[in-house]
Chains A and B, each alone.
Chain A
Amino acid sequence: MSAAIGFSLSHLQAMLLFALVISIAFGFLSRRQPVERVKYIVWSLFLFL
């Protein structure tokens, strides 16, 4: 596998991807219960956007 596959993302796509991935990581690291995690992920994503 190589980077030759090449990704070309728009600013919006890159921002959405970044915000989603980081929000998921924050949610899992900072909350224990699944429901709390989902709430935190959604809230964090909202704040990022």
Chain B
Amino acid sequence: MTDEAAAPEVPQADSKRETFALVIAVAGWIVPGLGHALLKMWGRALACFLTVGLLVFFGAAMRGNVFTSNANDAFDTLGYLADLGAGTFYFVARALETNGPDVSRADGDYGTRFLAAAGVLNLLAALHAYEAARGRKA
């Protein structure tokens, strides 16, 4: 018969590592590549920074739609969440788009996809950094 009252204790080291991993994930989300940089994964850090940066730059330059919190429907909300995934680069995209979005042309539509892809890619990279910080094989 097992003793159910004796719950397994979480080692202190594991708790610290989990907190550290969360900090890495948030850092990676705020600044693309920073999570990997803090883990000294320089190649991945540079790749994340450049790929997310390129997608944001081209997306904004093609006058894609940078969604705001004033969503009209669920799709706008999803677009906003995807765009926010780029962290600070979301605000870079907004700053770059001085003329505002123009989705009446195909370019603007492609730009919208580029911006959303940048956000989702950065979230994926942040998740990867989180798993790496937890000690999972990465």
Give A residues with C-beta under 8 Å from B. 1-9, 11, 14, 17-18, 21-22, 24-25, 28-29
Contact = CB atoms under 8 A, between A and B. Distances in A.
6 contacts: A3-B61, A7-B62, A9-B62, A14-B110, A22-B51, A22-B117
B107 A25 contact: no
A44 to B, nearest CB: 13
Given A3-B60, A3-B63, A5-B61, A25 B51 contact: yes
A37 B14 CA distance: 31
A18 B61 contact: no
Contact of B125 (A14, A21, A29): A29
B99 A28 contact: no
A4 B55 CA distance: 17
